[in-house]
Amino acid sequence: MRIGAAVRLFLLLACQAQVTASDGTSTVAVAQLIVHDGDLSVPREPGVEGDGGAYYSKYGILLSLLSVVPVAVVQPIAAVTGRVELLEAAAAEGGKP
């Protein structure tokens, strides 16, 4: 457990702190929407049309659900620094293989 935590911390320090692929953009968008709105639908650009005309991620929901906790945890820091988008993306993507 300690080794896993140490590896995770190292990966958080070494990550790019930015989303560089379309699946990452979709993952972060869904995680942010879950935290902020409690909603799974995304804007038109990163999604595909689903039932009722709403748009959803074409990459599924598992990575987004795993990213919800880190995105929620950085909310107090993001509120103080004013860098909400950057911190949420870094938290959601940081440490992923």
Span 74-86, average pLDDT: 87
Task: Quote the distance between the C-alpha of residue 88 and its chain's center.
Answer: 6
* Ramachandran region, residue 86 (left: φ > 0; alpha: ψ -120 to 50; beta: rest): alpha
- Residue 97 in this model has a pLDDT that exceeds 50: no
The string of DSSP letters for 11-70 reads HHHHS-SS--SHHHHHHHHHHHHHHHHS---B-TTTEEE-GGG-EEETT-SHHHHHHHHH
9-55 pLDDT tens trace: 777 666 655 555 666 777 888 888 899 899 888 878 777 888 888 88
Give residue 94's pLDDT. Answer: 67
pLDDT in tens, 54-76: 888 888 788 888 888 888 988 89
Report pLDDT for 22.
62
Q: What is the pTM of this model?
A: 0.66
| Domain residue ranges of the chain, discontinuous segments joined by + | 2-93
> Tell me, what amino acid is at 2?
R
